[in-house]
Amino acid sequence: MAGVLDALASYVQSMLTEMAKEEVYILLGVTGEIENMGVKLGDLKNFLADADRRNITDLSVQSWVNELRRAMYDATDILDLCQLKAMEKGPSQDMGCFNPLLFCMQNPLYAHDIGRRIKKLNERLDGIKARSASFNFINLGSYEDRGGNMVSPSSSTRETSWGLDESSLVGENIEEDTRNLVQMLTQEYQSNQEYRNIMVFAIVGVGGIGKTTLAQKIFNNEIIQQEFSKKLWLSVNQDFNQIEILKRAIVEAGGDHLAAGNIKTTLERVLTEALKGHKTLLIIDDVWDHHVWEDVLRTPLLNATLAHGSRVLVTTRHDTVARGMSAEKPYHRINKLEPGDAWLLLKKQVVGNGNNDAQQVDTLRDIGTEIIAKCDGLPLAIKVMGGILRQRKTLRSDWEKVLNDSIWSVFQMPAEINNVVYLSYQDLHPNLKPCFLHYALLPKSTLFWANTIVAMWISEGYVHGNSCDLEVLGLEYYNQLITRNLIEPHQRATMDQRVCNMHDIVRSFAQCVARHEAVIAHESDARLTDKLNSQNVIRLSLQTKELESKEVTWSSIQAHIPLRTLILVGKIKINPGDSLSSFSCLRTLHIQGGNFDALSKHLVKLKHLRYLHLGGTDTSRLPEKIGKMKFLQYISLAGCKHLEKLPSSIGKLNQLRHLNLHGTTIDNVPKGFDGLKSLRILCGFPVHMDVDWCSLEELGSLNQLMELGICGLEKVSSPSFIIKARLGEKLLLKSLSMSRTIRCGDEDDHRLQLVAAEEQGQIEKVFDELCPPPNLENLDINGYFGQRLPRWMMSTTAVPLGSLRILMMGDLACCTTLPDGLCKLPCLELLQIRKAPAIKRVGQEFMCCSHFQQVAAMFPRLLKLTFIGMVELEEWEWEETLHAMPILEVFLLDTCKLRRFPPGLAFHARYLKELSIYNVKNLSCLENFPSVVDLQVFRNIDLDTIRNLPKLQKLFIAECPKMKVLEGVPALQRLNMEDYDIETVPRYLRDVKPRYLLLHCSLSLLTCIAAGKSSPEWDKFNHIQQVKAYADDGNSPRKWYVLYTREPFRFETNISRSAIDRDCRVVGLARFLLQHCGAMLRYPKH
């Protein structure tokens, strides 16, 4: 924790500097003592680097570090109290107006007490410094003097895709492992057991060897995605909770667990119903105890009467778990990386996105090979090592320093410490170390967004400096941890917000380093009581069940008086008389999804509190005197459905930086809200009118805002109120969301049109005045009912959205045209239009504004375009002469009447890879897309032709009844067809040669296919290497199947011979009659 102390010492010194500027302590009679404190801290910082190096293995050094840590925490408490008293007594409640002489005259006892405590603290620091002599610490200087590594995250980033880190995939082994396991999971096995029994397979290997990566690759495999109608991913830790596991399984299966409450038998029944009849793949990752299968998941899955071929895949470190789950033998074991593959992985990590020269890295292969040897072939260790080397110059001397680091020879290191992770930790800048250790406090099974984590870091003092840039700096720290592979982006990561995971080995390391001050516990933890009885706990992270915990009570937590951080996810038993008063040092309070209402009135007793998160709790009120909590910087009330109003004193929280009101029933803010001058993020701000006053006025002076969400704009009676919000002056604003509470919907269309007819002009005037500032990057508009979009979106000589990257617009009930100013936006990457029922035509003005002379491509940076719910759209003009969307990669069109695609789309979108067309009427032909690799067409009732897509590899066709022509697709590898009404296999299959065909059809057609070579359908598909065809039976998806492999020949079906003979005769007779009677007859339904 010495690295944390270095950051904490810097934080204390910054506090002293600020207080000196404000002359808070000049007349307290302790000026000399304050200066002494600064000198002592500076002296001690010189030894912290060496103390950090020895802290892991030397118990006496650990004791010294713990003593210094407590002294530092006491210092921050004393300085806090001094500032708090100054703010309370200052005439304007502002430190800048503080009068020291007046303060001392009015508070002689308080001034004396502060002076006494500082003197006592200095005496402790003298003793600590004296003790340091016995350790013979080496004066390595402060981290700043030694040039800590703080590389801007923009210099090295890592791409991720659907939860699978492609940068960690090297060599043929993982490809071969994937192929083998996919084949095992999809192969049909002969068994005398009841077909509903599920086969279990296991991946076994040590931690960090890549079990999860392999399972993710299998889960995302195209064959797996198409083969199984239900796919569930469950990550299970050592302290799993049965109720939580069942709920997560229900969510993964597409069911609803809310009605089931927390009763295990009811949850099992809900899960059974959600999976009933489906061919299911369940992947259970990181299993430590086979009872998660035997006691929790096995029964509901067996009762679901799953379709034939359902599978379970488990990853575990222990053979005993695989045996306990009756997994098929032999278990799949992952081998350590071969030296060649290990070098490729290390090189990929070091080179990153091209900022390091790959050829230069190759010259260091000999040193890299020696470094790899120390990683023992473990991919995680190699990735972490790559994160270290990426921060170094590609020089032999730099790599040799890493190779020869003394950390490799620390043999007394605790079992939880992995040498490679420890080396990476030691390589961190001191400002990053506490952030990294803090991340390990977060409950593993709960997702935390990046801005929430950064807010915690700011509140703890880990991110300090220029107050205006703390959030930006915190995100840089966050990105650094990603760059160094200490945390990894989760599959839910988006373009704007990130959520990450921390690998178990890394998490264990961080928790081990922080063990002297932090306790992380789960209600199922066998050592829970011992952990809660730990002494001198500074940070406590606890996760309980959703039911009110009987084992954990609030009184058991109250005993931890020194707590500075409390993270509680879940419910806990609160008795009469319980309060928050014992937590006099608390800085961070994160309560999520639990019961807190009985304690909310005691919040004002938390004088040091900076961070308050009550998301999803039963909180119905905040204390009226919340304005006295002067240090509050972050408040999140998201999902507090019982909370109806804010206290009138909230405007006095002049250090508040983040306020989230989403999901509350708050419909107004108190006057004086504009006192929150430090606000950076404001979500769910409600618009309210009161005669001649509008709540939007309160936004006028909040010019530090970086993110703003406004709801209820339909209440604004005059554009003049919008002007007072002064949005255009908020130059730091990056993200803006504006919405009305009414939404488009089939049931409400008529009512909405009536409203729009009366108020369109008013709405247009209101939104015209909502012109955002020029630096905006993310804009979301929901519920706009004007005929035209705001003027600031239309063509102008100077577009005010020059930095916009993401634009999403929805519920445009009466809008008849898209704005022509969007095409000029130089940075726009994502454009989404959803529910715009009045737009019939996308004209040339959308692609190229009439008042702009084209000198470059329109939409030059657009990567993803989405049109959803434009139900009347019939025409889209874009000629080949108009250069636009040159790097478009993804296009989704859903629910419209478009007759044809514009020629310019295929001609200019030469990077278009993914094309999805859903429920488009009138579209008959889809052709000439030279770059499309993945095409999905669904419920396009008039589509009959797909041609000339030379790079198409994956094609999905569902419910396109007129489809007759498929040609010009030489690269096609996989064809997925789904239509339960077709009576015969489409003839166009003869003209294509995919390697793999997956067909979902009616039982009658499948029965005919099951006749094999004697089937009239045989010549349509027998040239395809692998064919899998399925039919449902009531509530049993994929119950019937035909499996065919061309080479080596294999043909299997579970349809009886009698059924095949019967149905084939019927089909044969129907075809004979059709051939001789022409169009007078049609195939009989069967």
User: Phi, psi (5° rounding) for residue 722?
Assistant: -65, -40
330 upstream amide cis, omega within 30 of 0: yes
Q: In 3D, which of 154, 8, 1 has the Cα closest to residue 457?
A: 8
Contact present, 1026 and 1050 (Cβ < 8 Å): no
Write the DSSP symbol of residue 200. E
Which residues, in sequence order, are CB contacts of 445 under 8 Å at separation 6+? 235, 237, 244, 543
Q: Is the pLDDT of residue 1026 over 50?
A: yes
Domain boundaries of the chain, sorted by first residue: 2-135, 153-158+338-515, 180-333, 781-912, 913-972, 998-1086
pLDDT at residue 359, as a whole number: 81
Beta bridge partners of 690: 693
520 vs 468, more confident: 520
Segment among 23-32, 877-886, 961-970 with least mean pLDDT? 23-32
Q: What is the CA radius of gyration of the chain?
A: 32
The vertex-546 CA angle with 541 and 547, nearest 5°, equals: 115
Which whole number is the average pLDDT over 581-594? 90
Contact 562, 537 (CB under 8 A): yes
What is the distance between the alpha carbons of residues 764 and 791, in angstroms, rounded to a whole number? Answer: 9
The Cα 584–Cα 605 span in angstroms is: 7
Tell me which CATH code domain 180-333 carries.
3.40.50.300
Distances in whole angstroms, Cα of residue 733 to Cα of each of 468, 710, 725, 728, 876: 12, 13, 13, 9, 34
CB 573 within 8 A of CB 550: yes
pLDDT surpasses 90 at 331 = no
| pLDDT the model gives residue 348 | 84
Task: Answer yes or no: is pLDDT of 1081 > 90.
Answer: no
Predicted confidence at residue 197, as pLDDT, reads 63
Whole-angstrom CA distances from 625 to 422, 637, 651, 664 are: 46, 17, 11, 20
- Compute the distance between CA of residue 883 and CA of residue 900 in angstroms, rounded to an integer: 19
3-state helix, strand, coil in the chain (%, to 5): 40, 15, 45
Q: Sorting pLDDT into bands at 50, 70 and 90, what band is 198? A: confident
- For 892, the enclosing helix (H) or strand (E) is strand 890-896
- Alpha helices per DSSP H over 835-884: 844-847
Instruction: Report pLDDT digits (tens) over 163-174.
Output: 465 655 665 677
Whole-number Å distance between alpha carbons of 750 and 746: 9
Tokens of 107: 């508070």
Q: Cβ contacts of residue 127 below 8 Å, gap of 6+? A: none
In whole numbers, what is the pLDDT of the chain averaged over residues? 81
Picking from 347, 238, 370, 253, the residue whose alpha carbon sits closest to that of residue 300 is 253
φ, ψ of residue 892 in degrees (nearest 5): -120, 125
Phi then psi dihedrals of residue 723, to 5 deg = -60, -35
Question: What is the residue whose two structure tokens read 């998490």?
Answer: 507
Chain Cα centroid distance, residue 966: 39
Enter the tokens of residue 188.
Answer: 């049909």
pLDDT at 1082 over 80: no
Q: What is the DSSP string of 1027-1046?
A: EEEEEEETTEEEEEEEEEET
* Each residue's pLDDT tens digit, 748-770: 454 455 555 667 778 888 888 88
> In sequence order, which ranges of 736-849 are alpha helices (DSSP H)?
749-768, 844-847
The pLDDT tens digits of the residues spanning 486-538 come to: 888 776 655 555 788 887 778 888 888 888 888 888 776 666 777 777 777 88
Give me the sign of the Cα torsion angle 378, 384, 386, 392: negative
Distance CA 18, CA 29 (A): 18
Give tens-digit pLDDT for 434-461. Answer: 999 999 999 887 889 999 999 999 999 8
Length reported for the chain: 1086
pLDDT of residue 897: 94
DSSP, collapsed to helix, strand or coil, labels residue 634 as strand
Distance, in Å, from the CA atom of 261 to the CA atom of 478, rounded to the nearest integer, reads: 36
For 609-653, write each residue's pLDDT tens digit.
999 999 999 999 999 999 999 999 999 999 999 999 999 999 999
Angle at Cα 740 formed by Cα 734 and Cα 742, nearest 5°? 145
Q: Please list the residues that pair with 588 across neighbouring strands.
A: 565, 611
CB-based contact 371:347 (threshold 8 Å): no
Q: How far apart are CA 757 and CA 813, in angstroms?
A: 11
Per the DSSP assignment, residues forming a β-bridge with 689 are 694
Q: Which two three-digit tokens encode residue 684?
A: 């769910």
Assess whether pLDDT exceeds 90 at residue 873: yes
Q: What angle do CA 974, 978, 979 make, to 5 degrees?
A: 145
Residue 637, Cβ neighbours under 10 Å: how many?
24
Name, in order, each residue with C-beta under 8 angstroms of 305's C-beta and a sequence gap of 6 or more: 196, 276, 277, 1036
Q: Which tokens hold the place of 285?
A: 């990752």
CA distance 235 to 287: 8
Handedness of CA 1056, 1061, 1064, 1070 (dihedral sign): negative
Residue type, 910: R
Q: How far apart are CA 656 and CA 317, in angstroms?
A: 46
Read off the pTM: 0.77
- Pairwise CA distance, residues 1055 & 1059, whole Å: 7
CB crowding 139-175: b at 16 or more within 10 Å, else e: ebebbeeeebbbbebeebebebeebbbebbbbeebbe
Report the alpha-carbon distance of residue 355 to residue 348 in Å, rounded.
11
Residues 6+ apart with CB under 8 A from 136: none
For the chain, percent of residues with pLDDT exceeding 90? 32
DSSP, collapsed to helix, strand or coil, labels residue 802 as coil
- The more confident residue out of 696 and 103 is 696
Q: Rounded to 10 degrees, what is the CA torsion of 486, 492, 498, 500?
A: -20
Looking up tokens 């064809």, which residue turns up? Answer: 975
Cβ atoms of residues 985 and 213 within 8 Å: no
CA distance 1084 to 1082: 6
Q: Which of 283, 287, 278, 286 is nearest to 182 (CA)?
A: 283
pLDDT tens column, 228-253:
888 999 888 766 778 888 988 888 88
For helices 242-252 and 264-275, angle between their N-to-C axes, nearest 10 degrees? 20
Q: Is the pLDDT at 1083 greater than 50, yes or no?
A: no
In the predicted structure, residue 94 carries a pLDDT above the cut 50: no
Within 10 A of 898 (CB to CB), how many other CB atoms are there?
A: 20
Whether 350 contacts 151, CB under 8 Å: no
Report, as an integer, the average pLDDT of 46-60: 74
